Structure 1
Amino acid sequence: MKNNDLELRQEVFKSDAIKILQWMEDEEITRYLNESPNVCSSIRNTLNSINLPVLTHLFNQNGSFYMITKKDESIGFLKLIPKGKAVEIVIVIGDKEKWGMGLGSNAIFQGLKEAFFYWRVDEVIAKINFENERSKRVFKKVGFDVDRELKKEIQYNMTMNKFLKIAA
C-alpha cells in the first residue's frame, strides 16, 4: 500500500526486526506503549535463534503487522489487532527524526483503508494513554472520535461510515 512515498509493507525482514528492537529499547519511543515487558527479549531471542531473512510470519501472529517505510527506509510499524467485530490499531513512528512530519496520520489513514476494505470491519479503535498528547492529536486529525475513557487510557474510534465520508 502506497501513499506518496509512505508505504505499509507486510514483509518484515531481519533488518526491520533489528530496528524494531532498537526502537523498543528507547524509553522515549515506548513510554506510552502497552507492549509486553518481555517484547525486547523475545525479539532478541528470535534474531539469535532463527536464521531467516524474512520474519513476517512471526510478527503477524496476533493480527496484521506492517512496517511503515518512507523511500524504502523503515521508520516505524503499524499493527491491526482483531477485537471482536472491531480492529485495534497501534502505530509507532520509531525514527524520531521523522516525528512531527505528518507521517503518522498518513500511515493511520492507510491502516484504516486496510481495516475497512480488506478486513471488512465496522469499527477501528485506538487506545491511547491519557498523557500521550502526540497520539491524541494525530488520531483526532485523522478523524477519530473519543469513544470512552478506560482505566489508563482513552479509547478512540472510527466507523466505516465516517471513514467513507472522510475518504470521499
Structure 2
Amino acid sequence: MSEPFISLCPEITRANAFHLIDWLEDESVVRYLSDSRHVSRSIEQVVSRVQLPILTHLFNQGGRFFMAYDRNDEPVGFVRLVKTGQDCEIVLVIGNRDNWGRKLGASALREGMKFAFFDMRAEKLIAKIHVDNARSLKAFLRCGFVLDSETSAMKSFAMTSDRYLQRLRDGRLGNLSEIHITEIDQTRLRNLVALEQGADVVDLEHEIERAIAVDSRHVGEDVVTMNSRTLLRLDDDAMEVDLVYPGDADGSAEKLSVFSDVGSAIIGYREGDAIDWRIRNRTRRIRIEKVLYQPEAAGDFHL
C-alpha cells in the first residue's frame, strides 16, 4: 500500500481559518496543545477584524504556517514551523478525527521536514511532544527523529539536517518511488538551486537530493533526464514537453523549465510511473507515458 499523499500549502484563506477554529475547539484534537484556546480566540478575532479573502501574512507572524491537504484537495490539518537561531520547532495537527489512523501525520511531517531543511535551512528540527501523546510519538519515531531530552510531562525529539539528508538519500523517508538522475544533471542542478534557494525550488531540491545518481552512459533509456522530450498525461490531458534548464525555457509546455511544478515533478521518473503532485493549488495525477527522446540514449552527451 502506498503512503498517503499530503501537500503543504502556504496560502491561508478565510475558509481555512474557519476549519482551524473548528479543529481547535475539538477537545480530542487539542488535548496535547497547551495554547489551543488562545490560538482559537486569536483566529476568531482575526476573521472578524480583517475582511480579506487571503490571511497568509497574519498566520506567518513569528513563523511559517501551512495548511495540509490530502489527495482530494481537502484540508486535513496544519503544520507550523518556528525558527529560533539555527534550529526550527515544528507543531503538527491532523484536525479531523475521521482522518486519524491513516498515517497522514507522518506524511505531513515529511513535508514539514522538507520545508524546514530546504527552505528555512534549519540545522535541527525539534518537536516537543506530551508523553501521553502516543500517536504523535509513534509518527515522529517512524520518521527517524531521536529523543533529545525529556521531563516527566514532555519529550523533545530532534532531527538534524545531516541525519535528514542521509535518510532521504538512503530512501528511508517514506515509500517514495525510486528516481534516477545523471551525475552531470545532478551537479548542474545543484549549482542552479544554490543560486535560487527559497520556497520556489524546495520540491526540486528535495527530488535532486533523494535521486539515485548514475553515470550518463548507464542511465535507463526510459528515464526522464534533462533535455528529454516526454509524452505526459496530466490527469486526462496528454502533453509533450521538453524538460530544459531555466535559461532555455520559453514559458510554454514545449520548453518546460525543470524549476516549474511539472518539471520538478517528472525529473528522474521513467515510462509507466505515475505520481500525485500539487500544481497551482490543485493536486494532479502525472503519468509518464513515453520518453520520446533522451540525450543519453541518443549519444548526445554534450546537452
How does the TM-score come out when normalised to structure 2? 0.53
Q: Once the two structures are superposed, what CA deviation does each residue of 1:29-88 show, in whole Å capped at 9, x if it has no partner?
A: 000012254222211111111111111111100110000001221100000011222000
Greater fraction helix: 1
Deviation at 1:151, TM superposition (A): 5.7
Paired residue for 1:145? 146
Paired residue for 2:182? none
Name the amino acid aligned to 1:16: N
Name the amino acid aligned to 2:75: S
Does the aligned pair in 1 maintain the 2:6–2:111 contact within 8 Å?
no
Q: Which moved more, 1:133-142 or 1:37-46?
A: 37-46
Paired residue for 2:11? 11
The aligned runs of 1:65-144 (5 Å cut-off) are 65-70=65-70, 71-144=72-145
Unaligned 5+ segments in structure 2 are 170-303
CA distance in 2, matches of 1:36, 1:5: 26
Root-mean-square deviation (CA), in Å?
1.5
Q: Once the two structures are superposed, what CA deviation does each residue of 1:84-132 show, in whole Å capped at 9, x if it has no partner?
A: 2200011000021111111111111111111111111110000001111
Name the amino acid aligned to 1:142: C
Q: Once the two structures are superposed, what CA deviation does each residue of 1:127-147 show, in whole Å capped at 9, x if it has no partner?
A: 001111111000000000000
CA distance in 2, matches of 1:45, 1:163: 38
Unaligned 5+ segments in structure 1 are none
Tell me which of the two structures has the higher relative contact order, counting C-alpha pairs closer than 8 angstroms and 6 or more residues apart: 1
Identity score, percent: 39
Over 6 Å off, 4+ runs: none
Paired residue for 1:40? 40
Larger radius of gyration between Structure 1 and Structure 2: 2
Name the amino acid aligned to 2:126: I
Does the aligned pair in 1 maintain the 2:4–2:104 contact within 8 Å?
no
Deviation at 1:22, TM superposition (A): 0.4
Q: How many residues align?
A: 166
User: 1:103/1:4 Cα in 2 relative to 1: closer, same or farther (>3 Å)?
Assistant: closer
CA distance in 2, matches of 1:162, 1:31: 31
CA distance in 2, matches of 1:4, 1:136: 19
Deviation at 1:14, TM superposition (A): 0.4
